[in-house]
Amino acid sequence: MSGTEDIPSWLKKALESSDLVVVEFWAPWCSPCKIVEEELKLLSDTCPGVRIIRLDVSRDPLTAASFKVLSVPTVLVYTRRRLAARIVGIVKCDEIARVLGCSECLEAS
């Protein structure tokens, strides 16, 4: 992560404290973001141990900029405290589950 001075301390702690973290950058006016939100709910229901964080880019543009988010939805997947995937656009639960290694979600989809 570059520009870490613009990342809120609570988010830094979340990324450092959990092995599996999914961060979705979204906006209320974004229709594809609503689809991704539903996919993340499915991921949350079927893949225990995954921490999901949603950040509204219209309320926190500095954090979005520090992660180099240029469009929404953008999903960042962290495994073992490292960025494992950056996905821009609509993403399905099973695609995120593959990156996370979450077999429960793969079986449910």
Half-sphere exposure of 42 (CA within 13 A, CB side): 19
Q: Which of 80, 96, 78 is nearest to 7 (CA)?
A: 78
102 is catalytic: no
Tell me the sheet residues that pair with 78: 21, 83
Which one from 30, 47, 102, 105 is the annotated catalytic residue? 30
33 is catalytic: yes
Task: Kindly state the DSSP code that residue 22 receives in the 8-state scheme.
Answer: E
Whole-angstrom distance, CA of residue 71 vs CA of residue 19: 26
Task: Kindly state the DSSP code that residue 86 receives in the 8-state scheme.
Answer: E
Whole-angstrom distance, CA of residue 60 vs CA of residue 44: 23
> What residues are labeled active site?
30, 33
